[in-house]
Structure 1
Amino acid sequence: MSRLSLFNSPLLLGFDHFERALDRVAKSQAEGYPPYNIEQIGENGLRITLAVAGFAMEDLSVGLEDSQLIIRGRQAEDDCSRIFLHRGIAARQFQRSFVLAEGIEVKAASLDNGLLHVDLERPRAETKVRSIPIQGAGPAPRTIDLSGDEATESKPRRHPGR
């Protein structure tokens, strides 16, 4: 059975990497442990906070793989001499993945009172304007300047004798 793609329009060229990112997000949504928050801190800052009570700093790892932030936790083996009458505190290993947009940078990670904070920074969006030369069958290409308030067309000046 073929899967219907959101990006199969001929007007959306080169967006196949978005489709792969959406697939990764859909797979990681099924994970429920550990719980986390995502909050905006400042104009361009984001913070992911995971509840990792019972994990020591050496039990946790934060890394980047391609455009994914991957947070892993693995506790050392329990002492076999302990006998639990009730065990409600999770002590299992986990892996939590977050797909990051292009340009987002991981700035820091810190562990405080059972909460792992990962700070991210989103770069400011810059508007890019560029003129593309139009080449025709004629001798001189013309360009359209889109950077000003009005679109103006200019033709290269011909030098006498050419």
Structure 2
Amino acid sequence: MRSFDYTPLYRTTVGFDRLFDMLDNSVRSDWPPYNIEKTGDDDYRITMAVAGFSTDEVELTQHGPELIVVGQKQTEESDRQILHRGMATRNFKQVFKLADYVKVAKATLENGLLSVDLVREIPEEMKPRRIGLRSSSDANPTQQPQISEDTERRRKVA
């Protein structure tokens, strides 16, 4: 595992503490294996190989900016004797940090693959909007500028 020293960046940046904490704490286990893919401009998919787990044994929770995936294998009570255990069926917990406004759209478990579809839904007031500009030469010099009622009330009060 590689470790990076962010000390020089701490000296030259202000307000990025959360980002550096996320980088420091981004150590992930290698099991279960997973893919993260971008399926659209604001759509993402996490696919995890969880063979041997049923829908009752896998739990997904979104808590703020974190998606937590937990697999708890139920103990088998059988009389069979296993001579070699090559298939990993151990419990796991995987935490994914999500960006702002990213939400889980759906999750499916099929053929041993857990697919979690994510979508970024930016609120309308947070989206960029174009503001039209006019130059002073566009205005008609004989036409008086229109004053809103709110501006007129402020003048009377002052």
In the aligned structure 2, how far is the partner of 1:48 from the partner of 1:123?
17
Identity rate of aligned residues, in percent?
36
Deviation at 1:128, TM superposition (A): 6.7
Query: For structure 2, which runs of at least 5 residues remain unmatched after alignment?
Result: 137-154
User: Structure 1: which amino acid aligns with 2:83?
Assistant: L
Query: For structure 1, which runs of at least 5 residues remain unmatched after alignment?
Result: 130-146, 153-158
In the aligned structure 2, how far is the partner of 1:14 from the partner of 1:128?
26
With normalisation by structure 2, the TM-score equals: 0.71
Aligned length: 135
What does residue 57 of structure 2 align with? Answer: 59
In the aligned structure 2, how far is the partner of 1:51 from the partner of 1:66?
25
Deviation at 1:8, TM superposition (A): 3.2
Q: Which has the higher strand share?
A: 1
Instruction: Give yes or no for contact 1:41–1:47 (8 Å, CA) kept in 2.
Output: yes
User: Structure 1: which amino acid aligns with 2:69?
Assistant: I
What does residue 32 of structure 1 align with? Answer: 30
Instruction: Give yes or no for contact 1:75–1:92 (8 Å, CA) kept in 2.
Output: yes
Residue 95 of structure 1 aligns to a residue in which SS? strand
Change (3 A) 1:80 1:6: farther
Instruction: Give yes or no for contact 1:108–1:120 (8 Å, CA) kept in 2.
Output: yes
In the aligned structure 2, how far is the partner of 1:5 from the partner of 1:82?
58
What does residue 6 of structure 1 align with? Answer: 9
In the aligned structure 2, how far is the partner of 1:121 from the partner of 1:7?
32
What does residue 94 of structure 2 align with? Answer: 96
Deviation at 1:97, TM superposition (A): 1.1
Pairwise CA RMSD = 3.1
With normalisation by structure 1, the TM-score equals: 0.69
Alignment of 1:65-80 (within 5 A): 65-80=63-78
